[in-house]
Amino acid sequence: MSAEAVGMHMPAVVTLDDVATMNAADPNGHRYETSPEAVLSVMPPPDSEHAMIASRLFAWLIMAGWPAEQVLQAVSVRIPGPDGDGGRIPDLTVWRKPPSRGVWPAVADIALVIEIVSPGSEAMDSVTKVHEYASAGIPRYWVVNRDGAHTVTLHRLGGQRVYEEHARMPLAWLLQTAPAEHVE
């Protein structure tokens, strides 16, 4: 289907219900997200390297004692904004308590969001989502780059709801520490 044909069938305003429907209907595993300003983003399906990084982080958190129902892969979350809510699908989320059931749970109980950079998502993960997650009050945000060392940048929420870079290290180094050293 051409971009013109898709545009003819798109609603004037895309709601979170629309985005959830698009995610459920995509046979190729794309992730559809929207910013609080209603900007629609289409993320490519994760590749095997992405899945390996997510699996290593998931196992590290679980082995350290985080309950499985509080460490979730690819769960959608509601991102509040001044003019409406957006919806993002982080690669991993760590929750203080299990989130409410539903497609777009609120971020109030999230302790950490982790995004793994995919080809083409660098600006989204390193700029746009940094601002959105900080504005939403998420205390920790980590970005895993796909360089040779899989460098992890650990952000901590500071005053004025702005992230401060807390540390930067190769994934292998991070996995040799205890998650409690980095997550409240």
**For position 88, what pLDDT does the model report?**
96
For 46-181, CATH gives 3.90.1570.10
Q: Mark the ranges of the chain whose per-residue pLDDT is less than 50.
A: 1-3
**Residues 11-21, buried b or exposed e (16+ Cβ, 10 A)?**
eeebebebbbe
**For position 12, what pLDDT does the model report?**
74
**For position 7, what pLDDT does the model report?**
58
Distances (CA, A) of 137 to 100, 109, 132: 18, 10, 9
**For position 4, what pLDDT does the model report?**
59
**For position 175, what pLDDT does the model report?**
98
Residue 175, token pair as written in the block: 């996995």
- 38-64 pLDDT, tens digit each: 899 998 888 999 999 999 999 999 999
**For position 5, what pLDDT does the model report?**
54
Pairing assessment for the beta strands 110-116 and 140-144 based on DSSP bridges: parallel
Q: What is the pTM of this model?
A: 0.92
> Order of strands, edge to edge, in the sheet holding 31-34?
40-43, 31-34, 85-88, 77-80
Task: Identify residue 80 by its one-letter amino acid code.
Answer: P
**For position 56, what pLDDT does the model report?**
98
Instruction: Identify any residues that bridge with 140 across adjacent strands, giving them in sequence order.
Output: 156
Q: Coil, strand or helix: which one is 49?
A: helix
**For position 8, what pLDDT does the model report?**
65
Q: Coil, strand or helix: which one is 99?
A: coil
